Amino acid sequence: MGWLVPAAPHDPPHWHVTFAVADRDATADLVVRHGGTVLGTDDSAWTRTVTVRDPQGAVFTASQFTPPA
């Protein structure tokens, strides 16, 4: 699935990849153990996400699906 989001005037167009994961926290721990950096997390009614930077500088998001009970 993909979508377009208007870029802010000072931001160049770019890609941002999101991967579905089974466990956001375990994924964040793996990123750190392998030399990456956690940039931030977010929890919503439907997802728990973590945005990370890998050791080479690529940024992506890992998203855990958590539908309301």
Q: What is the pTM of this model?
A: 0.82
Using CB atoms within 10 A of its CB, is residue 17 exposed (0-12), middle (13-18) or buried (19+)?
exposed
Residue 60 scores a pLDDT above 70: yes
Domain boundaries, given as residue ranges, for the chain: 17-65
Top CATH class of 17-65 equals: alpha beta
Residue 1 scores a pLDDT above 70: no
- Give the pLDDT confidence of 26-51 residue by residue, as tens digits: 999 999 999 999 999 999 999 999 99
With beta carbons less than 8 A apart as the criterion, state whether 24 and 49 touch.
yes
